[in-house]
Structure 1
Amino acid sequence: MPRPSRPRGAGRGDSGAAVADFAMVAALVTLLFVAVFQLGLALHIRNTLISCASEGARLGARDGARPEEGAQRTRELIAASLSPRFAQDVSVSLTESGGVQAVSVRVVAPLPVLGPLGPDRSLDVVGRAFLESQ
């Protein structure tokens, strides 16, 4: 049986193109996945730290409480929700704005980066609450 004839040169240069296309697309999709994962991880850690610092500031601002109690509570919340290594640099201070005193809890924590991509390697967040004993 004779082979079906096809136009000259058709299909000869396309051999292996699907493999090359897959390799290029797979690399791009992997890079996009890692970038989105890094962004999601950074936002999760940032939002958790802000929440813990705000909760600690509210505790430190209660009537009859000391601001240092708020810093300690912030450390406990961060250690319970993320990891104790994120709670190593927690400080508290009293600030005043417009004649109103507030407790400020500042957390400086590392930001895990999955490689050379991403922001600088630390987060600095502040939680504030008005002092109730004014």
Structure 2
Amino acid sequence: MLVVPLFLGILQVGLFLYVRNTVTAAASEGAHYAAVLNREPGDGEARTRELVDGVVRTELIESVAAEPIDVEGQPGVRVVVKAHMPPLGLWGPGIGFTVEGHAIKETGE
């Protein structure tokens, strides 16, 4: 009786960490992709969606947004991914989370 909820809890934590780490890596890669010379933030957003779609169910991703930012006086790119994890069992709340990836933009100087 005690083993099943414990097992589901451990499984939920493991799945959450897997999804969060995967989405974080995709956001970081998307930001680096958009930071290359002659690319726009929209390119990083598309790259992030492509990476996430290959690994995580698309229903878990609420939004992906990329925008230019200023990083200590340097032009940069930020990719923000909002996602959620539904509960595994019949009880408990889902877990919503937001991750970001940042990169300094390449310049032609």
Match of 2:86, SS state, is coil
2:84 aligned with 1:110: yes
Structure 1: stretches of 5+ with no match in the other structure: 1-26
Give, in whole Å, the separation in 2 of the partners of 1:121 and 1:39. Answer: 10
Letter in 2 for 1:89: S
Q: Residues 61-107 of structure 1, C-alpha deviation per residue, up to 9 Å, x if partnerless? A: 00111110000011111111112223441001111132122200000
Larger Rg: 1
Using CA pairs under 8 Å that are at least 6 residues apart, name the structure with larger relative contact order, 1 or 2: 2
Residue 25 of structure 2 corresponds to: 51
Residue 46 of structure 2 corresponds to: 72
41-50 vs 106-115, greater mean Cα deviation:
106-115
Match of 1:93, SS state, is strand
Q: Spell out structure 1 runs of 4+ moving beyond 6 A.
A: none
Matches within 5 A, 1:1-134: 27-115=1-89, 116-117=91-92, 120-133=94-107
Structure 2: stretches of 5+ with no match in the other structure: none
CA RMSD of aligned residues (A): 1.6
Percent identity over the alignment is 35
Give, in whole Å, the separation in 1 of the partners of 2:85 and 2:27. Answer: 16
TM-score, structure 1 length as denominator? Answer: 0.73
Tell me if the contact between 1:75 and 1:87 (Cα under 8 Å) persists in the aligned partners.
no
Give, in whole Å, the separation in 1 of the partners of 2:9 and 2:59. Answer: 24
